[in-house]
Structures are given as C-alpha cells and as structure tokens.
C-alpha cells in the first residue's frame, strides 16, 4: 500500500538508490558520498549551480564516465542491480531501454546528416526486434505521446528543418520509445524560450503520469523544478545538503545554501514556485 505521505501516482518502492563518490585523477571528489533515492513513478528535481556535480551524477548513473580518468566508488542500485559493477555490454543494454537521457541541446544531440525517421528507427532497433510495421507503429506512438506529427512529411525532415522545441520533442520521443523506468532530463529546458519551456515541462509531467515513468529532472532553475517535481534534492559542492518534498524545500528550506537560493529568486518567482509546489 502506498504511504499516505507519498502522492498516489508514486510507488513506495525505491527504483534507484545511489551512494556514490566520484573523482577525476588525484583531484578532490567532484561528488562526495552523495546519497540519492528515486522512487518508481516520481519526479525528483536535482538542483545545483554549475560545477556542483549534477551532470557527473547523471553520467555515473548511465555508466558514461570516462573510466580512465574518473573513478566512481560506492553503489548505484537500479532495479536491484549495482550499475557500478556492470560491464559495458550490460550497461548498453540498459541505456535507452531502462534508463533514458534527454540533454540540453537537441540540435547538438541529433545527427544533422540523418532524417528523423532514420534516427528513430535506429533507436528502436537498438533494443527491439520485429517487422518494419512494428517499428513504424512504435515510432508513431512515441511521436504522438509528445504531440508531434507522425506523417511521412515530418519523418523525412532533418533536424535543421525543425524548431528547437520540435527537436527537443523528437529527443524525448526517442527517449520514451522503449518506455524506460527512469528518464534523466539534464538541463533539458534551459535552451528553450519561456513558452516552449513551459510546454516541455508539462509534457514531462504528462509522460510521468501516463507511463508511470520516474524522472530525474536536473536543473539550476528552481521555478521550473517547482512546476513538475514531487521531491527536490539540493546538490552543493558535490554533496546533497538538503532533500524533501518540493513544498517543504521551497517554503521551509533548512540548509543555509538552499535558503540563499530562495533568497536570490525574485519575490514574485518565490510566490509562484511555492504555489506550484503546493499544487503538485
């Protein structure tokens, strides 16, 4: 039974449990004994300034750290398996199928030389087998789930022929093709205009509720985090200094750094963030 303190769409089961430190060479830890839990079906916001280690944590989860220059210690338990102990072949099987990633710049993430249909087909065939009809049906379903057309005319386009907002939706469609248990969105709205950002945030929330997909939403923007996240973890100088429900963290921050973050927001945005948090 779901705990009364957890919203009904969120499972009480922990999907990912990370207790990890990461360092590059002989330099000080970029992440120092970071403890992070993500429950099935929740949206967790990871907030921190540039250089705090947010993207390093995302890359550690995905097994994309350069193992020659970076050393990760500890555990990252995902669905009962320690990701830090998996071989590259096993990680490749998880990436895109169980854990997906959406990055900041869609036009840089998509291959400019390939049509959208080709890129979506490659993403589907990386983790599925079936007929061309099966592939086309999966692509149509993914595009419809992000409110994009699935017509031949659209699928023949190259990334440069789309707006930034459309390109970001294509990336998200690619990420949800296999209905992953966890979607990592790393500054996925920071390159968008305000209106498009709002639309993409609403899309993330809809995908979360429709598919029961957990989302790790990484951002430095507290206002956007307040709009979609059930819980927030604050990362500062490589450590989680505060975590809790969105409403608690934004309205009654305990840590000095979180208090400074809130104080730096204009009063109007503080009220908006608190109102959005209370509405989740």
Summarised one tens digit per residue, pLDDT across range 239-251 is: 999 999 998 898 8
Question: What is the rounded CA–CA span in Å between residue 238 and residue 231?
Answer: 19
**CATH architecture type of domain 14-98+178-279:** 3-Layer(aba) Sandwich (3.40)
Q: What percent of the chain has pLDDT over 90?
A: 66
For range 42-59, the mean pLDDT? 92
CA angle 210, 105, 143 (to 5 degrees): 35
Instruction: Check if the beta carbon of residue 103 is closer than 8 Å to that of residue 170.
Output: no
Question: What is the rounded CA–CA span in Å between residue 56 and residue 70?
Answer: 10
Tens-place pLDDT, residues 84-130: 999 999 999 999 999 999 988 888 889 999 999 999 999 999 999 88
- pLDDT higher than 90, residue 12: no
Instruction: Check if the beta carbon of residue 173 is closer than 8 Å to that of residue 167.
Output: no
Q: What is the mean pLDDT of the chain?
A: 89
Domain coordinates in residue numbering, the chain: 14-98+178-279
For range 228-254, the mean pLDDT? 92
Tens-place pLDDT, residues 65-94: 977 788 999 999 999 999 999 999 999 999
Tens-place pLDDT, residues 145-202: 999 999 999 999 999 999 988 999 999 999 999 999 999 999 888 878 888 888 999 9
pTM reported for the whole predicted model? 0.90
């Amino acid at each position: 039974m779901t705990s009364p303190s957890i919203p009904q769409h969120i499972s009480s089961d922990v999907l990912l449990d990370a207790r990890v430190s990461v360092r590059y060479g002989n330099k000080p830890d970029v992440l120092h004994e970071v403890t992070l839990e993500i429950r099935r079906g929740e949206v967790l916001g990871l907030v921190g300034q540039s250089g705090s280690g947010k993207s390093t944590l995302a890359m550690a989860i995905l097994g994309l750290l350069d193992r020659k220059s970076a050393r990760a210690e500890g555990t990252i338990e995902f669905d009962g398996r320690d990701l830090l102990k998996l071989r590259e072949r096993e990680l490749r099987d998880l990436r895109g199928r169980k854990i997906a990633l959406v990055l900041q710049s869609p036009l840089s993430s998509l291959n400019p030389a390939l049509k959208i249909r080709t890129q979506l087909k490659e993403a589907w065939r990386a983790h599925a087998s079936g007929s061309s009809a099966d592939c086309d049906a999966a692509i149509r379903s993914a595009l419809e789930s992000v409110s994009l057309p699935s017509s031949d005319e659209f699928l023949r386009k190259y990334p440069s022929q789309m707006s930034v907002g459309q390109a970001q939706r294509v990336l998200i469609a690619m990420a949800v093709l296999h209905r992953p248990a966890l979607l990592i969105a790393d500054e996925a709205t920071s390159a968008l205009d305000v209106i498009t950002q709002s639309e993409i945030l609403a899309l993330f929330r809809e995908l979360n509720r429709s598919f029961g997909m957990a989302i790790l939403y990484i951002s430095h923007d507290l206002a956007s985090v307040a709009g979609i996240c059930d819980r927030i973890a604050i990362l500062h100088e490589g450590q989680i200094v505060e975590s809790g429900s969105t409403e608690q963290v934004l309205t009654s921050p305990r840590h000095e750094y979180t208090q400074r973050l809130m104080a730096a927001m204009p009063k109007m945005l503080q009220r908006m963030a608190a109102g959005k948090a209370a509405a989740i």
